[in-house]
Amino acid sequence: MATLTFLTSSPSAKPTLPTLTEPTLSLLSSKSRSLPFSLLKTSTLTLTQTQRLPPLKSSSSTPDDLSPITQISAPITLKSRLHNGDTLYGLFLLSFSPTIAEIAGLVGYDFVVIDMEHGPGSFSDTLPCLRALAATNTPAILRLPESSPVWAKKGLDLGPQGIMFPMIESAKEARKAVSYCRFPPRGIRGSAHTVVRASNYGMDAGYLSNYEDELLIMCQVESEQAIEKIDEIAAVDGVDCIQMGPLDLSASMGYLWDPGNKKVREMMRKAEKGVLESRRNGEGEGGGAFLAGFAMPHDLPDDLRTRGYHMVSGAVDVALLRNTFVEDVNKFKMGSMNGSDADNNDGDEEYWSE
């Protein structure tokens, strides 16, 4: 047994070396023994020289798997926040830019959807965006190009916190989507959990025990036919969210250029009512699905929240950039048409001053 006695820092204390017993000195390098410390009061840390570090654990590992020193609470996931009653606000990432993904995480979006359905990116483009979001502790949801076991398997192996299946038309298709996310015997997902990013490349000992509880499965309902069966889709075990698709819905109804049409809005209200009632009634083994959706110019984020949406996607990164660029160019061109005010430099001085 070796004992290390150290002192906590004080701004006024004179830098000295910590007091060490002889057995402890053998545990430290010569370089570490030469470091100065500011010291005030003593406390003792006892180490067993033969003690070995526990294997790397997921934050979701069960308490029995963790030592008292490394034990931490279960992670706060999108799914747990929804069950706690939170309303989440997110962004769709269509550019596949890791820089924009990082900024989105830093400014405080609750989640970012990496859009492989309509964006130009592949899985190799997705990975840097996932890493950028992880650096800001922002959950990522991956929207797949189509609902298939191969796309789901490759996407889930990258380790997003949520996965979104487009164009789900029935409860049968929803059950298939859930099966793509689960390992046998509960599903048909192929397994490479010993080496993929989702399990910290095999170092997350709790992955197989917890991945179902932590993964958010979202099914998009985007057609008039699907809305007729939306209560059945929402009741499927494993479906956590129903994501409304207003643009494709309007197209399926013959109003591609008019998503704000009265008939489209009425169909949207019918779908919303079906999901919310399913949730209130606790239908299905999962207790019903949460309601998620896109904001539109005629249907703003606060409107969705007021109507009971639990997840609101307020914008697409490309659209935000487009609007900002258009505004910037128009402002300059309008200024050149109206003439510049050479005598008014206050704005420039404020902009460039430090």
Place of tokens 């007729």: 228
Place of tokens 């406390």: 43
Q: How many helices (H) and strands (E) does the chain have?
A: 15, 10
Identified catalytic residue from 83, 118, 193, 310: 118
Residue 111 one-letter amino acid: F
Kindly give the pairing relationship between strand 42-47 and strand 2-7.
antiparallel
Helices (H), the chain: 22-25, 30-33, 78-83, 98-107, 123-135, 149-157, 171-180, 207-214, 224-227, 230-234, 246-252, 262-281, 301-306, 317-338, 346-352
**Separation between Cα atoms, residue 296 and residue 259, nearest integer Å:** 9
**Separation between Cα atoms, residue 150 and residue 154, nearest integer Å:** 6
Residue 197 one-letter amino acid: R
The helix or strand, by DSSP H or E, that contains position 311, with its residue range, turns out to be strand 311-316
**Separation between Cα atoms, residue 205 and residue 198, nearest integer Å:** 12
Q: Under DSSP, is residue 5 helix (H, G, I), strand (E, B) or coil?
A: strand
Helices (H), 190-261: 207-214, 224-227, 230-234, 246-252
118 belongs to the catalytic site: yes
**Separation between Cα atoms, residue 161 and residue 322, nearest integer Å:** 28
Burial letters 233-266, b for 16+ CB under 10 A, else e: bbbbebbbbbbbbbebbbbbbebeeebeeeebee
User: What are the catalytic residues?
Assistant: 118
